């Protein structure tokens, strides 16, 4: 019986899922939030019960220790030795990693080096790594990179049309993100299509962060996020693509500082920025239904930016067999799926099965047999990919 814990360590949070790998069952899952505060929040789900506790947690080490102590106290494991592997989600693997890796000194040093590209993520992944290494030294550790799936992009897709030296000397290029999700969802779609030898799939990962990926024969050929997750389609609070001259204008003429502009583009833009209502899709939809003009405009722009990338990838792939909707909005909003698909009907011959879209459950086809493109809803499962890769690399 091999147990593996999938960990996603952020600046002040630590998400976890503990798997029994013999049957890939999730034994327990949860999140520790507000690490570093006296009122940190520890939420754990176990056997259909959800427990929430507010307590001081001073750092990631204390969070990892608390989590592992709780696993023992609740008899979720009888000994920490049962946990054979820890899989860490790592946002930025740069050009170094095209697959998951055992976290040896080299891998750790590269994750550290890449913190210049992901200052809000990579340092915290390493903090999580050290915390678990100290708490359960006998468990192996594996890094699963958000960027790895997109390492198959060709140079013509990842090079920016700026002086080449910034790529050669400064690592400036498209890396993409959400790779673990795009990998899982595209491969699940290929499985649902009966594992054809050739396939052209677009994954629309529409959550608070959102990106689209074109996947040919199971391989990522292009993706909407870029050097950082700020690029691509509009998101909850991120702008997605804007003319970079807007930045210069705001700094030189309006008096914003550079950090203020970057903060604005990351945290105050997207659905929130246009609607002025919320970054949460449900809130914006609710406001739009009540006639709020800017909420309507925000949704309109959101949908149009999604279809613009679908159009690009239709051309790049030379056709589309399937479009997959995933993540918070993609999995849960029949309304968003219908609005997006309606915009594709004329050009791509997409036809939605209303009943399957609105009332179906789980991973499913929601297009009619007449539709020229299959439309799937697929529930992403990044933690399962992390656990599977950890098992495979550690030979468990």
Nearest to ligand AMP of 240, 328 (CB atom): 328
Question: How many residues are given for the chain?
Answer: 396
Contact 105, 129 (CB under 8 A): no
Q: Does 95 bind ligand AMP (CB under 6 A)?
A: no
Q: Does 10 bind ligand AMP (CB under 6 A)?
A: no
Q: Does 286 bind ligand AMP (CB under 6 A)?
A: no
State which of residues 236, 240, 270, 273 lies at the interface with ligand AMP (CB under 6 A). Answer: 236
Q: Which alpha helices (DSSP H) does the chain contain, by range? A: 60-73, 105-113, 122-135, 155-158, 165-170, 179-192, 245-252, 258-267, 270-275, 281-289, 293-317, 327-332, 334-348, 354-359, 382-393
Q: Does 327 bind ligand AMP (CB under 6 A)?
A: yes
- 146 assigned to active site: yes
State which of residues 30, 128, 232, 328 lies at the interface with ligand AMP (CB under 6 A). Answer: 328
Per DSSP, the three-state class of 93 is: coil
Among 146, 241, 243, 321, the one annotated catalytic: 146
Shortest distance, position 185 Cβ to ligand AMP, whole Å:
12
Tell me which residues in 148-207 interact with ligand AMP (CB under 6 A): 207
Q: Does 333 bind ligand AMP (CB under 6 A)?
A: yes
HEC letters along 165-193 = HHHHHHCCCCCCCCHHHHHHHHHHHHHHC
State which of residues 282, 297, 358, 392 lies at the interface with ligand AMP (CB under 6 A). Answer: 282
Q: Which alpha helices (DSSP H) does 114-154 contain, by range? A: 122-135
Tell me which residues in 26-45 interact with ligand AMP (CB under 6 A): none
> How many of the chain's residues bind ligand AMP (CB under 6 A)?
11
Q: Does 240 bind ligand AMP (CB under 6 A)?
A: no
Contact 99, 148 (CB under 8 A): yes
Q: Does 332 bind ligand AMP (CB under 6 A)?
A: yes
Footprint on this chain of ligand AMP (rule: CB under 6 A) = 207-208, 236, 280-282, 327-329, 332-333
Residue positions annotated with a catalytic role: 146
């Amino acid at each position: 019986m091999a147990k593996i814990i999938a960990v996603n360590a952020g600046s002040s949070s630590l998400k976890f899922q503990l798997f029994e790998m013999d049957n890939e069952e999730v034994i327990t899952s949860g999140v520790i939030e507000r690490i570093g505060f006296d009122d940190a929040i520890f939420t754990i789900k176990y056997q259909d019960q959800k427990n929430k506790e507010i307590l001081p947690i001073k750092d990631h080490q204390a969070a990892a220790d608390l989590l592992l102590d709780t696993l023992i106290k609740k008899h979720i494991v009888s000994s920490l030795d049962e946990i054979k592997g820890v899989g860490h989600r790592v946002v930025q693997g740069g050009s170094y990693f095209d697959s998951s890796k055992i976290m040896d000194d080299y891998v750790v040093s590269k994750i550290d080096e890449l913190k210049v590209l992901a200052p809000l993520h990579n340092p915290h992944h390493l903090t999580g790594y050290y915390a678990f290494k100290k708490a359960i030294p006998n468990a192996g550790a594996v890094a699963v990179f958000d960027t790895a799936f997109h390492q198959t992009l060709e140079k013509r897709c990842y090079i920016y049309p700026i002086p080449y030296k910034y790529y050669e000397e400064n690592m400036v290029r498209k890396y993409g993100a959400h790779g673990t999700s795009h990998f899982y969802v595209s491969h699940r779609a290929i499985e649902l299509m009966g594992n054809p030898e050739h396939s052209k799939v677009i994954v629309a990962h529409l959550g608070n962060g959102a990106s689209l990926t074109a996947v040919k024969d199971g391989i990522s050929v292009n993706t909407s996020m870029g050097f950082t997750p700020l690029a691509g389609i509009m998101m909850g609070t991120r702008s997605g693509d804007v003319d970079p001259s807007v930045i210069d204008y705001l700094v030189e003429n309006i008096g914003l500082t550079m950090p203020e502009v970057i903060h604005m583009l990351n945290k105050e833009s997207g659905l929130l920025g246009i609607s002025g209502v919320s970054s949460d899709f449900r809130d914006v939809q609710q406001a739009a239904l009540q006639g709020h003009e800017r909420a309507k405009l925000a949704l309109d722009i959101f949908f149009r930016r999604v279809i613009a990338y679908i159009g690009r990838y239709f051309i790049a792939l030379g056709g589309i067999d399937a479009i997959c909707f995933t993540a918070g909005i993609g999995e849960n909003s029949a309304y968003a799926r219908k609005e997006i698909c309606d915009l594709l009907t004329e050009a791509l011959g997409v036809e939605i099965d209303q009943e399957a879209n609105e009332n179906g459950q789980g991973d499913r086809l929601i297009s009619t047999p007449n539709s020229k493109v299959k439309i799937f809803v697929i529930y992403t499962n990044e933690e399962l990919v992390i656990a599977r890769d950890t098992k495979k690399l550690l030979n468990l």
